[in-house]
Structure 1
Amino acid sequence: MHLNPIDLSVIIIYFVSMIGMGLRLSGKNKTTDGYFLGGRNFPGWAIGISFIGAMISSVTFIAYPADSFKTAWIRLVPNFAFPVVVIISAYMFIPFFRRGTVNSAYQYLSMRFGNSVSVYAAVVFMLAQILRTATVAYLVAILLAPMTGVRIEWCILIAGGITALYTIKGGFTAVIWTDVIQTVILVAGAAACIIFVTAAIPGGLGTIFSESWAAGKLSFMDLNAKTGELEPMRGGFSLSEKTVIMLLLVGFVQYVAGKLNQETVQRWCSARTPGDAKRSMIVLGIGSVPIWAMFMFLGTCLWVYFQHFPSSVSVEILSGLRKAEEILPHFIVSVLPPGLAGLVISAALAAAMSTLSSGINTASMVWVRDIYQPYFAKGRDDRHYLRMGLGASLGISILMIGGAFLFYFADTKTLMDFSIIVTALLGGGISGAFLFGMLTRRGDARAVLIGIVATALFTVYATLMQFGIVPRIFDSYYTSIIGNIIMFAVSYGAACLLPEKPRDLKNLTVFDQSKEQLV
């Protein structure tokens, strides 16, 4: 496909605006606090919208409509746990990171458990961010290549390079404000597709609801792989199959883990006041589930559209001959008119670039604040650390783009599986370590390191189980739940057995919160 000049113009305007914003904001980065935290001066509503943009990657942009097109809305169920996590974050987690001088998730681990645990978690986080951003850069390239007619290598360089440019120059200020714009664009892109389908189908929205309801497409049923029919899911507890309650637990655990990493803590610490940090959670809680639901509804709309106007691609997807993730790119390329297609392609880019920019800046902050400054260059002036922050952002961007090229030129499936496995082995249970520190007065580095070893061994078993090497005793969907339980339980048990060392836990557990005002 060769882009229509109108679509090309829309995409160029989007790219130029992102670069222009990064360059405009670069003059504000005079200190490391400005570069990594935006001078701690962001309003809550902007941080909340930035949270939404960072959470909705290009994978979500494509995967949610694909899933509801092929099945129903069952994959939305884990997201219903998110508002509960938002409330816990506002009233339990934020006080830990807005009191005193903590500006890093791993600084908290250092204060609670010591340097060994903090450095381990920081290194794992950086590795995970590099692998994650490389994966997103590669996936958005293979999404854009067939839609634009541009080679995958150039798609990687363009999307990754432009994101790196405005992130390196503009710092965290550029991350937040470009996230705000990108979130608006990606929501507008999805809404534009829904409006187009509604106008194209006889009967409009009424037809979409009536036909999809009759077919069970608006339900929370799951697809039976053997029969090809939608079937209700059980609602009880089970480790061997997917149930509604277990999906809610999966969502809860995953989103708690997401709130206990540096991407989230960095945003909380960048807010003007503790109230703004809490307001960001209100914006996130109110906006996230409806936006996720909108992407699911887009897939339902596409299903109805292709029932009325079937194509060979839609038929092959529904019959299992093609991947469901091809449906939205197919719709954009073959159905949308010029201009609107450019908007939706820009929305897909926005979804990816918000994830990439956040990953680059956050990983560079962890390198400078949690590793380089305390262990390699203590006591230097702030300008030195600012230069290191710029250099770290550049280095991580190069690794991100290089990783995306590696996925492209090598055995992609093997490499991506390897990256997921390595990250899981090293990082499993880190959120369990945070909760162990916050919810108990026991333990030090020794207990947590024992917990990390136990969790890694469990993850090895789960990985071998996936390949059929060892017996399957639970659904792999629940690996994160079990891993964090093991982390917490083993760390607590080890802490009970090991001799206690006296230490000051002020502001480090929920039981030792001071009454001093949050900052």
Structure 2
Amino acid sequence: MQLALGTFDTIVLILSIAVAIYIGIRASGKTDSAEAFLLGDRNLPWWAILGSIVATETSTATVLSLPAQAYGATGMKFLQLAIGYIVGRTIVVYFLLPLFFEGKLFSAYEVLQQRFGTKAKHAGSLLFLVTRNLGDGLRLFLAAMVVEKLVGWPFVTSALAIGGVTILYTYFGGMRSVVWNDCIQLVIYLLGGVATVFVIVANIPGGWDTLWKFAAEHGKTEWLQFYPPESVAGTADQGFWNWVVSYPYSFWAGLIGGAVLTLGTHGTDQMMVQRYLSARSQRDAGRAIFISGFVVFAQFALFLFIGVQLACFYSFQPETVFEKSDEVYAHFIIHSFPTNTGLVGLMLAAILAAAMSTLSSSLNASASALINDFYLPRQKTPPSAAKLLRLTRWIAVGFGVLQIAIGIWATTFDNTVIGNALSIAGFSAGLLLGLFSLGVLTRRVGQTAALAGAAVGLAVLLAVQFALPVWIQSNWPGSSFGVAWPWFALIGSSTTFLAGLVLSFVFPRSTAGSGSAVAPSQS
């Protein structure tokens, strides 16, 4: 069964798409150079950058999977990760952000060139381009799958619609269009979330009183967990430290793992750094980064609360069983949302908005990395402003086509391959953070040792993700021990850092071709 789109719902959906295209065309009048296309002339207000940061890190999978987390046994405990996100962003503001404002940079990876050399910059930029486009192509696949199930459009049509609209407004308006559209898309999916809260409560027998009673009885409102539950605390493979390492929703995994993950995703990823460079000043960029952590906390709380509501709602329908808890939110939208009131159109617009905000940012950031890290350094004569702008726009289109192709290609994969590919795409945050840490915190490590350290970090992450679970099950069948995903960024960054430091004794730093140690600005 698909969503029944009435006339009013269709109007709401079409208007949301038309607004995105209109903003792109309107912004094109101010996009007369590559710098304007990629960085909005470095003149965007901090609050717009804040909205863009939050919308960019929120995909369709996030909007649908967060309620699924709270619907299941995790409850609101996922919210602990947001504490780590706030801590990580604070560190980014004070220690990493100054690096990007010391010179008139276009790319995060120019910092690696200043410290290590060209090969390090190319390695970091290439790692970003490969993992970002692979990951976002698969996110496009997931978003198109949702649209296919909800609306009944063929999968290829869904993928082309999402990707095509995103390419269109990104092509015309560049970063300015991306940021303003992100802000509108943030408002759309948050409005959809708030509307859902009231629609679900209206469908629960007894309303708010029943909901609060259910949440208290099932421990759904408990969101801080410092120690393992008594039921597992004394078992052989679930002592305190084993529990901390293997359980992804403890306070410690949220605080430490979430903070390090954010250092990687928001401190070294070109998609985020490009937003900071679009701000009017370092202070404005810092304000946007810091406050975005609290906005994400509130956003997580909203969608997790929807999951608690759904658990209460479906407790009155024991005959409704889900193979995957990710299906619960979509099921409620299809079967219980009032039709032809505009709410169904708003929810579909919210799902599309979450997808497009991530994809548009990816296209612009990928074009920036390719142009500034690979193309321009190889040009003996700088191209004219018009030629560079035209080339930059078409490169963004090319990455959009690539991501659509990856999304359609993913229909030939099974779920395991998609999950593993997304995991590998997430490795880049830890590896890049390790490289940046070597550049900022050490003086003796050179380019060869740093790159070799990153290779060791990647090997360790692959072993932890794929080889370790197989080894544990072969030696201790039935064991629940494993390394939880919030720790992957810490493992990748610390392994890269330590390996690079040790290997610097084998591959001493060359004084030629390597920059000086990078230190945060004191201004």
Give yes or no for TM over 0.5.
yes
Q: Structure 2 matches for 1:82-481, cutoff 5 A?
A: 82-220=85-223, 240-242=245-247, 243-259=250-266, 260-308=268-316, 310=317, 312=319, 315-317=320-322, 322-338=323-339, 339-375=342-378, 379-408=382-411, 410-413=412-415, 415-417=417-419, 419-420=421-422, 423=425, 429-465=431-467, 468=470, 474-477=482-485, 478-481=487-490
Question: What's the counterpart of residue 22 of structure 1?
Answer: 24
How far, CA to CA, are the matches of 1:392 and 1:28 in structure 2?
19
Partner SS state of residue 28, structure 1: coil
How far has the Cα of 1:465 moved from its partner?
1.8
Distance 1:468 1:140, change over 3 A: same
Distance 1:425 1:173, change over 3 A: closer
Q: Which amino acid aligns with 2:309?
A: C
How far, CA to CA, are the matches of 2:240 and 2:46 in structure 1?
37
Partner SS state of residue 48, structure 2: helix
Distance 1:209 1:427, change over 3 A: closer
How far, CA to CA, are the matches of 2:138 and 2:405 in structure 1?
11
What are the Cα deviations for residues 226-281 of structure 1, in whole angstroms up to 9, with x where unaligned? x99xx9x9865766522431342221121111111111111111001122112212
**Aligned residues of 1:451 and 1:490 also touching (Cα < 8 A):** yes
After superposing the two structures, state which structure 1 stretch, 477-486 or 9-18, moved more. Answer: 477-486
Question: What's the counterpart of residue 478 of structure 2?
Answer: none
How far has the Cα of 1:102 moved from its partner?
2.1
Question: What's the counterpart of residue 488 of structure 1?
Answer: 497
How far, CA to CA, are the matches of 1:45 and 1:149 in structure 2?
37
How far has the Cα of 1:426 moved from its partner?
7.1
How far has the Cα of 1:475 moved from its partner?
1.4
How far, CA to CA, are the matches of 1:442 and 1:396 in structure 2?
37
**Aligned residues of 1:124 and 1:423 also touching (Cα < 8 A):** no
What are the Cα deviations for residues 135-173 of structure 1, in whole angstroms up to 9, with x where unaligned? 111111111112112121111111111111111111010
How far, CA to CA, are the matches of 2:67 and 2:239 in structure 1?
24
How far has the Cα of 1:420 moved from its partner?
3.5
How far has the Cα of 1:440 moved from its partner?
2.2
Distance 1:407 1:340, change over 3 A: same
Q: Which amino acid aligns with 1:249?
A: I
How far has the Cα of 1:463 moved from its partner?
4.0
Q: Please state if 1:508 is matched with 2:518.
A: yes
How far, CA to CA, are the matches of 1:244 and 1:59 in structure 2?
23
How far, CA to CA, are the matches of 1:8 and 1:83 in structure 2?
38
How far has the Cα of 1:491 moved from its partner?
1.1
After superposing the two structures, state which structure 1 stretch, 241-250 or 334-343, moved more. Answer: 241-250
How far has the Cα of 1:497 moved from its partner?
4.8
How far, CA to CA, are the matches of 2:224 and 2:282 in structure 1?
41
After superposing the two structures, state which structure 1 stretch, 470-479 or 92-101, moved more. Answer: 470-479
**Aligned residues of 2:269 and 2:429 also touching (Cα < 8 A):** no
**Aligned residues of 2:9 and 2:345 also touching (Cα < 8 A):** yes
How far, CA to CA, are the matches of 1:411 and 1:499 in structure 2?
44
**Aligned residues of 1:103 and 1:269 also touching (Cα < 8 A):** yes
How far has the Cα of 1:376 moved from its partner?
5.2
* TM-score, L = length of structure 2: 0.89
**Aligned residues of 1:121 and 1:427 also touching (Cα < 8 A):** no
Distance 1:500 1:377, change over 3 A: closer
How far, CA to CA, are the matches of 2:349 and 2:427 in structure 1?
35
What are the Cα deviations for residues 380-436 of structure 1, in whole angstroms up to 9, with x where unaligned? 22322212211111110110111111012x124354246336546777512111122
Distance 1:246 1:285, change over 3 A: closer
Partner SS state of residue 116, structure 1: helix
**Aligned residues of 1:68 and 1:296 also touching (Cα < 8 A):** yes
* TM-score, L = length of structure 1: 0.90
Partner SS state of residue 105, structure 1: coil
How far has the Cα of 1:354 moved from its partner?
0.4
What are the Cα deviations for residues 278-301 of structure 1, in whole angstroms up to 9, with x where unaligned? 221233023110111111001001
How far, CA to CA, are the matches of 1:376 and 1:425 in structure 2?
32
Distance 1:355 1:205, change over 3 A: same
After superposing the two structures, state which structure 1 stretch, 498-507 or 177-186, moved more. Answer: 498-507
Distance 1:422 1:247, change over 3 A: closer
* Long gaps (5+) in structure 1: none
* Identical-residue share of aligned pairs (%): 27
**Aligned residues of 2:135 and 2:425 also touching (Cα < 8 A):** no
After superposing the two structures, state which structure 1 stretch, 488-497 or 109-118, moved more. Answer: 488-497
Alignment root-mean-square deviation, CA = 2.7
